[in-house]
Amino acid sequence: MVKAKNIRVIIGDSKLKRTFKKELEGETKLQLFGKKIGEKFRGELFNLTGYEFEITGGADNSGFPMSKSVEGVGRTKLLLRRGFGFKASKKFSGIRMKKGIAGNTINERTTQVNSKITKWGSIDLMEHFGVKPKEEVKAEDTKEVIATN
């Protein structure tokens, strides 16, 4: 049995051109178990009503990337020439290698789930996740430096 860990969900927002990170633990992470890459889930999991997310990928506890083409929850080795999980230098452009790949189903070994927003709700994501715009952060830093001098 694998030691239970939190699942880190990475949310990509194409409108804001930002990503947000949310840790799921306990009973909330169990709602993602059994879902596959390409399936959708609702935003109520993160208290984001009206939002809908699509699973685009992820990684297991050893860092092996999840592949949409590998069915199931286990790992396998694929002979890859290019694509995710394998990067050949230009000198060896035609080389193929066996690389370890995780299955496309979320289970207890999954530690990271990548997702994108497919349906937006009315809640502001920047406020919900507590992220400040870069301009505000820079202004606060300069005030602190001036105040300490």
The predicted-structure confidence for 32-59, as pLDDT tens digits, reads as follows 888 999 999 998 888 888 899 999 999 9
Q: What proportion of the chain, given as a percentage, has pLDDT over 70? A: 83
Give me the residue label for tokens 């879902």: 35
- Host domain of residue 114: 7-148
Residue 30 maps to a domain: yes
The domain total for the chain is: 1
Q: Are 123 and 96 spatial neighbours (Cβ–Cβ below 8 Å)?
A: no
Among the listed residues 5, 66, 55, the one whose alpha carbon sits nearest the alpha carbon of residue 32 = 55
pLDDT at 43: 87
Residue 117 maps to a domain: yes
pLDDT-derived band of residue 69, with 50, 70 and 90 as boundaries?
A: confident
pLDDT at 1: 47
Average pLDDT, the chain: 82
Determine the longest span between alpha carbons in the chain, in angstroms.
Answer: 60
Residue 1 maps to a domain: no
Q: Kindly give, in sequence order, each residue whose CB lies less than 8 Å from that of residue 18, ignoring residues fewer than 6 positions away.
A: 125, 131
Among the listed residues 117, 123, 116, the one whose alpha carbon sits nearest the alpha carbon of residue 49 = 123
pLDDT at 117: 92
Q: Which two tokens stand for residue 23?
A: 């840790």
Residue 2 maps to a domain: no
Q: Which residue type sits at 149? A: N
pLDDT in tens, 72-92: 888 888 787 776 666 667 777
Write the CA distances from 73 to 8, 26, 52, 104, 123, integer angstroms: 18, 20, 24, 7, 34
pLDDT-derived band of residue 16, with 50, 70 and 90 as boundaries?
A: confident
